[in-house]
Amino acid sequence: MAFSLYYKGLILHCLISFSCLHASEPPLTLDYYKTTCPTVLEIVRKEMECVVSSDPRNAALILRLHFHDCFVQGCDGSVLLDDTITLQGEKKAPNNINGLKGFEIIDDIKERLESECPGVVSCADILTVAARDAVLLVGGPYWPVPLGRKDSKTAGYELTETNIPTADDGLLSIISKFIEQGLSVTDMVALSGAHTIGMARCLNFRNRIYGDYIATSGINPLSQKYLSNLKSVCPPLKGADNNESAMDYVTPNVFDNSYYHILLRGEGLINSDQELHSSILAVQTKKLVAQYAENPIAFFEQFSKSMVKMGNITNPDTYVHGEVRTNCRFVNT
């Protein structure tokens, strides 16, 4: 009952204050570059094929960049901006520093597109398409990507602290951050499935493995062995913060529903993941975890819908003051 009241109260807050971004109907179209840069999708795909074939982990890097971009000011390429004398970017914010990589991949795609269609394709669109292709290239689903985003001239350093879910967030905190973006609980559980690929830093799973991991996973030889391996990678004392472990230890480089099976076993690597199944408030989310574990097609279908929805979170200011950057790291001069 308390959870239901909280959920309804947060929605009411959004409606009254208009403070929430909305993943709704932005001025985006599937054929936006049909006449101005008809080869954009082909160029992005070829570049992504190269980087993912060279290292499948690159897929997760791009997907994470897209998520962090959309949750701060909308999907406007602000996460790609470097610090300058007049602009503080988002890359060095506490929730991003040492955790975001793959910027050079977007740089290379942008360079190719500037050669083919100078001044036409926004960095925000490049990142959105690249994220879709990244998932597809490691076995995940396809979804159509509406295009026409503009690049922001500003960044949201402070917003990274309030908007982006962290590894130790509780379930209500995670849900509230998604609702603030116009995304539902179902979207949240489906999009969390992106953790079926990629790595987590020791800094982000230390509290989990030295906390309630045994309580959720139970005492069994396989879980104990996995936990022992994690502790060897991530000692209890500081000093190994940037050591990494796969969030899906079963199929770390394949986009599938293995992540949800891991949660069902109580072996989620970070606290915020395991909360989806083990929190005392996880009534709705636990059902969705079980559904996606049982039915990979249902997971793929919902993930695709939720990615379109997240990609449609726009920064309204960019349609007035935005631009198409010639270099994704810097505002045009």
Residue 130 CA to residue 98 CA, distance in Å, equals 21
| Residue whose C-alpha is closest to residue 194's, from 57, 60, 45, 48 | 60
Catalytic residue among 68, 261, 277, 321: 68
> Is 333 annotated among the ligand-binding residues?
no
> Is 144 annotated among the ligand-binding residues?
no
Residue 45 CA to residue 141 CA, distance in Å, equals 15
| Residue whose C-alpha is closest to residue 318's, from 113, 112, 73, 88 | 73
> Is 29 annotated among the ligand-binding residues?
no
Paired tokens of 227: 């936990």
User: Is 68 in the active site?
Assistant: yes
Is there a contact between 90 and 83 (Cβ–Cβ < 8 Å)?
A: no
Burial class (CB in 10 A: 0-12, 13-18, 19+), 4: exposed
Q: Please give the C-alpha separations between residue 31 and each of 26, 45, 261, in angstroms, as whole numbers.
A: 14, 16, 38
SS (H, E, C) 3-20: HHHHHHHHHHHHHHHCCC
Helix (H) or strand (E) holding 34: none
- Burial string for 172-195 (b: 16+ CB within 10 Å, else e) reads bebbbbbbbbbbebbbbbbbbbbb
Helix (H) or strand (E) holding 200: strand 199-201
Is there a contact between 201 and 176 (Cβ–Cβ < 8 Å)?
A: no
> Is 72 annotated among the ligand-binding residues?
yes
> Is 322 annotated among the ligand-binding residues?
no
Half-sphere exposure of 41 (CA within 13 A, CB side): 14
| Residue whose C-alpha is closest to residue 13's, from 166, 176, 148 | 176
Size (the chain), residues: 333
Cα torsion 49, 50, 55, 60: sign: negative
> Is 256 annotated among the ligand-binding residues?
yes
Known binding site for heme b: residues?
Answer: 195
Known binding site for substrate: residues?
Answer: 165
Known binding site for Ca(2+): residues?
Answer: 69, 72, 74, 76, 78, 90, 196, 248, 251, 256
Known binding site: residues?
Answer: 69, 72, 74, 76, 78, 90, 165, 195-196, 248, 251, 256
Q: What residues act catalytically?
A: 68
